[in-house]
């Protein structure tokens, strides 16, 4: 091939690459490799270079340029059939990595029904599993929490059993006192990443209800994604997640959900009262100190909302100090739960539900 012909072949390939084409190629890549070696490799190397790879899977523009561009109307290229050109661009396509799949919807965070202030549901979402902790009130108005491990059962649908737990009082952990009962079922159905419904069936009654839920927004919502490789939690600067005592599993049975939006963390601590019954406390704290009042609420029973029955009292203070994105100090001073004041510090870490973990930013 003379210099003029080599330039024409190069120009043909180059023009084909820079002009967009949506035509799909479905040829024989093995034959395309042979044809590429005969007609293109002298200009674009045996391993296709950048310009050649830009033509991957783009048939129609290559055909058009060969048919209409005088510099490309050379016997070498005009002799190639449609099938042969298809094989060439298909061969080039084997060097192009497929685009990554779109990130799956992730529902991690705190959700509520805005017209029913005082209760909510925290979702820790990793892979195809959601761990839900529902903060509500029993039939006497006392704070009650139920948990659910809900695997994915359909598109945007997660279902599981609702469990009620009893355990060791918050200030004296004893693993032998932890127990739970299956009290019903729950289903989370999402219409998009910010809206859904929470259906629950409680066996005692029975009670069967559905609530429309949406994300609770008190700052800039973080974007949460389940990774394609193990998450580097230590480097994370957003702390939205389910946390528990460190080392993981050392005090199974209680935990704390941190929802981090802008410079505010809304924390819901699910633990146990001095009699072992479920108790939850909440705090809204801002950085960098992340310290403030710790509140205990009372409210309307879970199955009959009445805003007039919701109220809260400060029972202490709390402070979170983060060593990194995966380790924190959880300090609390409790002055109004039980007969004595309590001052304790727990080291906490994120609770994994799946291998790779969910990070928010």
Q: Mark which of 93, 117, 148 sits at the end of a domain.
A: 93
> Is residue 19 included in any domain, yes or no?
yes
In this structure, the strands spanning 157-166 and 120-126 are unpaired
- Same domain, yes or no, for 115 and 67? no
Q: Which helix (H) or strand (E) segment is 237 a member of? A: none
Which residues constitute the domain of residue 47?
Answer: 3-93
Measure the N-to-C terminal CA separation of the chain; round to a whole number of Å: 56
Q: Which residues pair with 199 in a beta bridge?
A: 187, 210
- Same domain, yes or no, for 84 and 113? no
In the chain, the number of structural domains is 2
> Is residue 99 included in any domain, yes or no?
no
> Is residue 102 included in any domain, yes or no?
no
Alpha-carbon distance of 359 to 278, in angstroms, equals 29
Q: Mark which of 93, 124, 143 sits at the end of a domain.
A: 93
Cβ atoms within 10 Å, residue 284: 13
- Same domain, yes or no, for 278 and 176? yes
> Is residue 156 included in any domain, yes or no?
yes
DSSP secondary structure, 27-86, as one string: --HHHHHHHHHHHTHHHHTTTT-HHHHTTTT--HHHHHHHHH-GGG--HHHHT--HHHHH
- Same domain, yes or no, for 167 and 244? yes
| Global confidence as pTM | 0.74
- Same domain, yes or no, for 182 and 233? yes
> Is residue 103 included in any domain, yes or no?
no
- Same domain, yes or no, for 167 and 51? no
- Same domain, yes or no, for 89 and 114? no
Full pLDDT tens readout for the chain, 361 residues: 443 343 333 333 333 333 333 344 578 999 989 998 888 787 778 888 766 676 788 887 667 767 777 766 788 878 999 999 899 889 888 887 665 555 689 999 999 999 999 999 999 999 999 999 999 999 999 999 999 999 999 999 999 999 999 999 999 999 899 999 999 999 999 999 999 999 999 999 999 999 999 999 999 999 999 987 888 999 999 999 999 999 999 999 999 999 999 999 999 999 999 999 999 999 999 999 999 999 999 999 999 999 999 999 999 999 999 999 999 999 999 999 989 999 999 999 999 988 889 999 9
Alpha-carbon distance of 116 to 112, in angstroms, equals 8
């Amino acid at each position: 091939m003379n210099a003029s012909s080599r330039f024409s072949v190069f120009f043909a390939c180059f023009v084909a690459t820079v002009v967009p084409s949506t035509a799909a190629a479905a040829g024989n890549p093995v034959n395309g490799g042979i044809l590429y070696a005969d007609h293109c490799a002298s200009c674009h190397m045996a391993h296709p270079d950048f310009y050649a790879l830009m033509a991957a899977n783009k048939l129609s523009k290559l055909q058009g340029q060969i048919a209409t561009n005088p510099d490309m109307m050379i016997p070498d290229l005009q002799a190639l059939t449609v099938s042969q050109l298809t094989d060439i661009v298909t061969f080039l396509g084997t060097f192009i990595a497929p685009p990554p799949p779109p990130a799956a919807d992730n529902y991690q965070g705190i959700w509520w029904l805005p017209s029913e202030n005082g209760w909510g549901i925290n979702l820790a979402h990793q892979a195809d599993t959601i761990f839900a902790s529902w903060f509500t009130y029993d039939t006497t108005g006392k704070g009650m929490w139920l948990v659910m491990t809900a695997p994915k059962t359909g598109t945007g649908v997660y279902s599981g059993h609702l469990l009620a737990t009893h355990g060791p009082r918050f200030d004296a952990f004893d693993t032998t006192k932890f127990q739970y009962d299956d009290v019903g079922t729950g289903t989370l159905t999402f219409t998009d990443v910010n809206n859904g419904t929470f259906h629950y069936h409680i066996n005692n009654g029975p009670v069967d209800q559905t609530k429309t839920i949406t994300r609770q927004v008190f700052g800039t919502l973080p974007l949460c994604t389940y990774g394609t490789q193990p998450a580097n939690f230590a480097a994370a600067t957003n702390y939205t997640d389910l946390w528990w005592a460190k080392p993981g599993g050392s005090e199974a049975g209680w935990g704390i959900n941190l929802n981090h939006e802008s410079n505010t963390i809304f924390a819901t601590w699910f633990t146990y009262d001095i009699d072992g019954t479920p108790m939850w406390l909440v705090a809204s704290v801002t950085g960098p100190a992340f310290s403030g009042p710790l509140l205990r609420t009372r409210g309307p029973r879970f199955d009959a909302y009445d805003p007039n029955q919701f109220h809260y009292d400060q029972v202490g203070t709390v402070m979170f100090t983060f060593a990194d994105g995966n380790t924190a100090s959880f300090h609390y001073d409790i002055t109004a739960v039980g007969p004595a004041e309590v001052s304790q510090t727990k080291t906490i870490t994120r609770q994994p539900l799946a291998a790779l973990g969910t990070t928010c930013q």
